[in-house]
Amino acid sequence: MKLLSRLLISLLLAAAASVHAATIEMTVNGLVCAFCAQGIEKQLRKFPATADVVVSLEHKLVAVALKDGQDIADAELRRALTNAGYAVKSIQRTDTPIADLRKRVKQAKP
């Protein structure tokens, strides 16, 4: 019975870890220059769960790729960007790889 319980707990923990999204996409107002993008990227890379960051001024997009099994709370992201002087309009969690977001942003440039 103990073995069955341990197996069940292990499966539940594994399932919970796989629920996290791979990427957090945010719509952010106030992005006007490359210096803004660098500042945001530097701020978001301070989070231990951050694997990569993409900032697009044209699309008002800030995206954070998360390390496997890790997460950053929406409130923490919002606080970091608000304290840096930006307005976070939306936060969406997706399974879109950050490389795909980079391609999409580059293709949509004028």
pTM: 0.78
pLDDT at 36: 86
Q: Within a domain: residue 60?
A: yes
pLDDT at 16: 43
Q: Within a domain: residue 82?
A: yes
Q: How far apart are CA 86 and CA 35, in angstroms?
A: 13
**Sequence-separated (6 or more) residues with CB below 8 Å from residue 103:** none
CA nearest neighbour of 48 among 33, 26, 31, 70: 70
Q: What is the mean pLDDT of each run of 10 residues along the chain (110 residues)?
A: 56 46 93 90 96 94 95 96 94 94 83
The number of distinct structural domains making up the chain is 1
Range of the domain at 90: 20-107
CA nearest neighbour of 88 among 22, 43, 46, 34: 43
What number of other Cβ atoms are within 10 A of residue 107's Cβ?
7
